[in-house]
Amino acid sequence: MKSTDNIYNFLIKEHPDDKLTTQQIASSVGLSRGVVSSYLSQLYRENRLVKSGTRPVYWMVRREVTEFSKVIGYNGSLAKIIKQCTEAIIYPPKGFPLIITGPSGIGKSYLAKIIFEEAKRRTIINKDANFVVLNTADYANNPELLSSILFGFKKGAFTGADKDTPGLVDQANNGYLFLDEIHRLPTESQEKLFSLLDSGKFYPLGENKEAHKVNVRFIFATTEKLDNFMLKTFMRRVPMHIDLPAFRRRPFIERFELVFHAFRNEAKRTGRSIEVSLDQLNRLVRTDKPGNIGAMENDVQLICASGFENVDENECIFVGKPGEPTIFINANSSFEKTSYYSDLIKDQVIKLQKKTSNLLNRESSLDDLSLAVDQMLKATKLMVDEVLIKDLKIKVYKNLKEFLGERYGVDLNLDEEKVQQIASAFSLGELFNEDTVQLSKNELQKSFKKRYPRCFYLFRQFILHTFKRSIREMDLFCFPLMFQNKCVELESIHFTGILLAHGRNTATSIQSVVNNLCGNYIFEAFDMPIDVSIHDINEKVQHYLNQKGQSKDGIFVLFDMGSLNQMFKEIKHSSDDELLVINNLTTAMALDIGIRIQRGDSFKQITKAAQKFGDATGVQYYEGLSDRDNIIVSCMSGVGISEEIKKMMAESLSGKEQIITMDYKDLQHTLDTHEQDFFHKTNLVITTTNIETNLDISIINIYDIMEKPGYQELKRLLIEAGETPGNVDHLMESLLKFFSLEGIKDRLQFLNPDVVINEAQQITAKYQDYYQAEFEGKVRLNLYMHLSLMIERMLIRSHKDNEYTEIPLNNEQEKEFFSVSHAIFKGIEIKYNFKVDDYEISLMYQLLKSYI
Ligand SMILES: Nc1ncnc2c1ncn2[C@@H]1O[C@H](COP(=O)(O)OP(=O)(O)OP(=O)(O)O)[C@@H](O)[C@H]1O
């Protein structure tokens, strides 16, 4: 298959109605943006895609325009129905009859007519074919008359039958006959009809010799339940049954479009524009009358008529209360999904997103978060898609039970109402594509994951299993609803348990037994093909550890065969946690460990117990933070800074030590809960705060290294760990640059901090060279910041009138400093076209006096 076809098939399958950017498509199919862009252009040239917007351009699959494309909801809630209608039209040799059911005013007649038009468009029937309609209810009290109208009669068939008269069946020959209110059709007529459906023949009234042969396609409609009124023998001949949903059961977007459409019809009818308030539109969208769309259309007409009373010629009709937000609809307006309707829900969603983020920052409970979600769901209740919610509810129930329950042993304890809320929250997500509500740039996701790592892992697995996709921003609202009752219990387990076994479901079936017996998610399990390599296994394990977040207290891995040594090494190499690997996976063993994990045994106790089992098996464990020499970096201001420092250390140092970043709280917890042994490979802890511990560990506050003693201590420790002095100096320089950048980033108005800091570094180096001195870290940091801001200050001042202040020079040393400084600044003075004045140099003198 061609690559362009691959992309096209992906779009048709996954996003038949979505507008997507090139970047979104590229990310989804895993190709580069450039390549995907050329494929998309090719598809556009082939007329298979529609393009809209500029920067970014949006792509959408071009759909074949059929008569059904006019039907509101054809690619939404009626998509399946439209497919059935198409099948009923095209199925060889003559299509098949169908019956449309649904409450009054829901569009049964409308759909029947469209089916007829589509059959014409497809040239399945002739252009001049007839669409004949009969409402059987009109003749319900006169079955003979109905029969004669339907089947025609022969001259003399009854008094007054003075000539042969064809019936509607004859008129519909080669076209369509639509019988509305079919439940009023008397039994004899039903019988006559089904013989016609069988043989294509019928006898008009009074005719018993020559049957009429016709080729008629039938559509029936009724507001009633079929079983109550129709003969079973009749129904058997009508294979296709279409049930149209009531107006209030249609998705909000479609109800909105139907209302919009009704106003547009009024605009056409009156020749006026209509200005209608969103509030009025919204009220109509919520119509819940037995007459459905028909009743809503009547309401729209009445509302427009009352608005029409008060307008002068050519003025637009106003509908609503003055001061309310409105939209204009005229005969040519087109309904654009996003503009009117998503704004209404988006407001609510954004509000909730902000609230959730605030609550998470304040460490509020999942109960508070659920309450916020509940409020939002109430506010958007009438806008959501009831049909979708019903489907989702079934899916959610099923997977809670069959997936989370059976595999992870987790009963989330959710009542019917909660599941309904969860389904509603998921359904809301379906209204948006990720672009529309890309609000928090994954911040919320990160916060949830950090605070509830185990629940979040289960949530991710649930979404993957239920919807076959990764978590979307909007799914996050379901998280508090789902885990509210169980988060404490789920998060109380601090160990990580992993089961690995060859075979289709060996590991997962042991997992299911143990998790269920423990009543908690203790183990994750991976079934592996027989030829899997240790490397692949480790990748799986690492992927799992990443997704789940590090466990604070250690990892237990049970596997069924292979080299214990190798397996241990692979996993330990890329994990900082304590680790126990057991080369024996039995249900009894997993259960024993599971129970111990659950009741809160320590790593040591569990390891001891496993060793007893281990007589017959292989056990290898590592107690300690890491089996490699390591340095821990932990900054109170966040993992971001720690990660930056880790990067600098990796660049400057030899790589002999493993650099481990830790959240500040985790570090404190780890120090408090472990003994000296645990840290026996830890050479140094670098923090931004003074951490208290009784353990014998070197802890250096990063701000102390700015001063000489602190720096020397750092240098000593790193040299002891095997680093060269050059490496440590390089690290110091990177740290200084980093902290200076942090300090000036927000204070520089227009210069690029990265560029200007390099200038400051060079000037400082020149001073150090000239005076043969090595300035303390603190002084260098000060200089980098001062010089960077000075350069900008000078630049701004150079455009104003220069005011020089005369500085008296007291001695030779000062004189020398001034003349050296002028020489040092010459380079940047030329480059930036300004002059460093003596006042600035006098400041420099104050900064550097002690080194001169
Ligand atoms: N999907 C749709 N798109 C656009 N208009 C629709 C749609 N469905 C229904 N309508 C409009 O709704 C109105 C009522 O439809 P219709 O008369 O076909 O309903 P019905 O189910 O046949 O009603 P009854 O049972 O009372 O005969 C019509 O004006 C029709 O144009």
Claim to verify: residue 346 and residue 424 sit in the same structural domain = yes
Is-contact 330 275, C-beta < 8 A?
no
C-alpha separations of 551 from 214, 486, 493, 591 in Å: 77, 19, 9, 20
Helices (H), 152-244: 168-171, 187-199, 226-229, 232-236
What region, left, alpha or beta, does residue 638 occupy, with left being phi > 0 and alpha being psi -120 to 50 degrees?
left
Q: What does the pLDDT read at residue 817?
A: 93
Claim to verify: residue 222 and residue 92 sit in the same structural domain = yes
**Whole-structure pTM value:** 0.52
pLDDT in tens, 223-265: 988 777 677 777 788 889 999 989 988 877 788 889 999 999 9
Domain boundary among 622, 646, 668: 622
Nearest to 632 by CA among 680, 668, 686: 686
Q: What does the pLDDT read at residue 327?
A: 81
**Stretch among 178-192, 554-568, 647-661, 771-785 having the lowest mean pLDDT:** 554-568
Domain boundary among 214, 245, 276: 245
**839 CB-side CA count, 13 A:** 8
Claim to verify: residue 650 and residue 613 sit in the same structural domain = no
User: For residue 841, how many other CB atoms are within 10 A of its CB?
Assistant: 19
CA of 69 to the centre of ligand 1 (A): 15
CATH number at residue 30: 1.10.10.10
Helix (H) or strand (E) holding 213: strand 212-213
CATH number at residue 645: 3.40.50.2300
Listed ranges 239-243, 388-392, 553-557, 803-807; the one with the highest mean pLDDT: 239-243
Of all residues in the chain, the percent with pLDDT exceeding 90 is: 35
| CB distance 223 to ligand 1 below 6 Å | yes
The one-letter amino acid at 526: F
Start-to-end Cα distance in the chain: 76
Instruction: Out of 265, 293, 297, give the residue to mutate to test ligand 1, the one with the largest number of ligand atoms within 8 Å of its CB.
Output: 293
What region, left, alpha or beta, does residue 119 occupy, with left being phi > 0 and alpha being psi -120 to 50 degrees?
alpha
pLDDT at 359 over 90: no
CATH number at residue 577: 3.40.50.510
pLDDT in tens, 771-788: 999 898 888 988 998 999
What is d(CA 479, CA 93) in angstroms, rounded to the nearest whole number? Answer: 52
- The SS3 of residue 217 is strand
Instruction: Out of 69, 106, 113, 136, give the residue to mutate to test ligand 1, the one with the largest number of ligand atoms within 8 Å of its CB.
Output: 106
CA of 57 to the centre of ligand 1 (A): 36
Ligand 1 atom 29: residue of nearest CA: 294
CA of 264 to the centre of ligand 1 (A): 16
Claim to verify: residue 174 and residue 278 sit in the same structural domain = no
CA dihedral 187, 193, 199, 205 (to 10 degrees): 90
CA of 134 to the centre of ligand 1 (A): 16
CA of 104 to the centre of ligand 1 (A): 8
User: What letter would DSSP give residue 823?
Assistant: H
Closest atom of ligand 1 to CA, residue 292:
14
Residue with tokens 């420790």: 717
Q: Quick one: pLDDT band at residue 551, thresholds 50, 70, 90?
A: low
Ligand 1 atom 8: residue of nearest CA: 107
Claim to verify: residue 241 and residue 252 sit in the same structural domain = no
Total number of domains constituting the chain: 7
Helices (H), 773-811: 777-798
Tokens found for residue 736 = 């200084």
Q: Quick one: pLDDT band at residue 639, thresholds 50, 70, 90?
A: low
What is d(CA 641, CA 488) in angstroms, rounded to the nearest whole number? Answer: 30
| Strand partners of residue 326 | 277
Claim to verify: residue 117 and residue 262 sit in the same structural domain = no
User: For residue 17, how many other CB atoms are within 10 A of its CB?
Assistant: 12
Q: What does the pLDDT read at residue 438?
A: 54
| CB distance 294 to ligand 1 below 6 Å | yes
pLDDT at 465 over 60: yes
Q: What does the pLDDT read at residue 157?
A: 79
| CB distance 684 to ligand 1 below 6 Å | no
Q: Does residue 371 form part of some domain?
A: yes
- The SS3 of residue 489 is helix
Q: Does residue 345 form part of some domain?
A: yes
Listed ranges 22-36, 118-132, 150-164, 547-561; the one with the highest mean pLDDT: 118-132
Structure-model confidence comparison of residues 316 and 516, the more confident one: 516
Claim to verify: residue 512 and residue 447 sit in the same structural domain = no
Closest atom of ligand 1 to CA, residue 70:
3
Q: Quick one: pLDDT band at residue 440, thresholds 50, 70, 90?
A: low
Q: Quick one: pLDDT band at residue 431, thresholds 50, 70, 90?
A: low
pLDDT at 811 over 80: yes
Ligand 1 atom 13: residue of nearest CA: 294
CA of 112 to the centre of ligand 1 (A): 10
Claim to verify: residue 141 and residue 107 sit in the same structural domain = yes
CA of 107 to the centre of ligand 1 (A): 3
Is-contact 164 153, C-beta < 8 A?
yes
| CB distance 104 to ligand 1 below 6 Å | yes
User: What letter would DSSP give residue 492?
Assistant: T
What is d(CA 414, CA 420) in angstroms, rounded to the nearest whole number? Answer: 10
Instruction: Out of 109, 115, 222, 261, give the residue to mutate to test ligand 1, the one with the largest number of ligand atoms within 8 Å of its CB.
Output: 109
What is d(CA 149, CA 170) in angstroms, rounded to the nearest whole number? Answer: 10
pLDDT in tens, 576-626: 778 888 888 889 989 999 999 999 898 888 888 887 765 545 677 776 777
Q: Does residue 739 form part of some domain?
A: no
Q: Which residues contact 38 (CB under 8 A, 6 or more apart)?
A: none
Structure-model confidence comparison of residues 347 and 298, the more confident one: 298
What is d(CA 551, CA 263) in angstroms, rounded to the nearest whole number? Answer: 59
CA dihedral 765, 770, 771, 774 (to 10 degrees): 20
Q: Does residue 740 form part of some domain?
A: no
Claim to verify: residue 590 and residue 497 sit in the same structural domain = yes
Is-contact 554 587, C-beta < 8 A?
no
| CB distance 71 to ligand 1 below 6 Å | yes
Phi, psi of 246 (to 5 degrees): -65, 155
pLDDT in tens, 722-737: 899 999 999 999 999 8
pLDDT at 325 over 90: no
Is-contact 457 425, C-beta < 8 A?
no
| CB distance 631 to ligand 1 below 6 Å | no
| CB distance 109 to ligand 1 below 6 Å | yes
Closest atom of ligand 1 to CA, residue 244:
21
What's the whole-number average pLDDT of the chain?
86
Q: What does the pLDDT read at residue 760?
A: 93
pLDDT at 365 over 70: yes
C-alpha separations of 729 from 287, 648, 740, 834 in Å: 74, 12, 16, 33
Ligand 1 atom 6: residue of nearest CA: 107
Ligand 1 atom 25: residue of nearest CA: 104
41-46: long-range contacts at Cβ-Cβ below 8 A with a sequence spacing of 24 or more? 42/4, 43/4, 43/7, 43/8, 46/4
Q: Which residues contact 306 (CB under 8 A, 6 or more apart)?
A: none
Mean per-residue pLDDT, 264-286: 88
CATH number at residue 96: 3.40.50.300
Q: What does the pLDDT read at residue 26?
A: 85
pLDDT at 548 over 90: no
Q: What does the pLDDT read at residue 343?
A: 62
pLDDT at 477 over 70: yes
What is d(CA 438, CA 609) in angstroms, rounded to the nearest whole number? Answer: 49
Q: What does the pLDDT read at residue 752?
A: 87
CA of 285 to the centre of ligand 1 (A): 15
| CB distance 110 to ligand 1 below 6 Å | yes
Of all residues in the chain, the percent with pLDDT exceeding 70 is: 93
Claim to verify: residue 320 and residue 427 sit in the same structural domain = no
pLDDT at 433 over 60: no
CA of 326 to the centre of ligand 1 (A): 26
CA of 111 to the centre of ligand 1 (A): 7
What is the dihedral sign for C-alpha 56, 57, 61, 65?
Answer: positive
Is-contact 413 325, C-beta < 8 A?
no
**Stretch among 7-16, 341-350, 404-413 having the lowest mean pLDDT:** 341-350
The ipTM is: 0.98
Domain boundary among 622, 653, 676: 622
CA of 733 to the centre of ligand 1 (A): 76
**Stretch among 29-43, 241-255, 661-675, 791-805 having the lowest mean pLDDT:** 791-805
Q: What does the pLDDT read at residue 338?
A: 43
Range of the domain at 564: 493-622
Q: What does the pLDDT read at residue 439?
A: 56
Mean per-residue pLDDT, 326-348: 70
Claim to verify: residue 345 and residue 453 sit in the same structural domain = yes
Q: Does residue 734 form part of some domain?
A: no
User: For residue 507, how many other CB atoms are within 10 A of its CB?
Assistant: 25
Q: Determine what percent of the chain falls in helix, strand and coil, rounding each to the nearest 5.
A: 55, 10, 35
| CB distance 106 to ligand 1 below 6 Å | yes
CA 157-160-163 angle, to 5 degrees, is: 65
Q: Does residue 18 form part of some domain?
A: yes
CA of 395 to the centre of ligand 1 (A): 31
Q: Quick one: pLDDT band at residue 510, thresholds 50, 70, 90?
A: very high
Structure-model confidence comparison of residues 283 and 343, the more confident one: 283
Phi, psi of 165 (to 5 degrees): -130, 120
CA of 295 to the centre of ligand 1 (A): 10
Q: What does the pLDDT read at residue 680?
A: 85
Q: What does the pLDDT read at residue 384?
A: 66
Q: Does residue 598 form part of some domain?
A: yes
pLDDT in tens, 824-842: 999 999 888 888 888 888 8
Q: Does residue 383 form part of some domain?
A: yes
Is-contact 410 458, C-beta < 8 A?
yes
What is d(CA 666, CA 49) in angstroms, rounded to the nearest whole number? Answer: 52
Ligand 1 atom 15: residue of nearest CA: 107
Claim to verify: residue 281 and residue 240 sit in the same structural domain = no
What is d(CA 222, CA 242) in angstroms, rounded to the nearest whole number? Answer: 11
Closest atom of ligand 1 to CA, residue 78:
1
pLDDT at 794 over 90: no
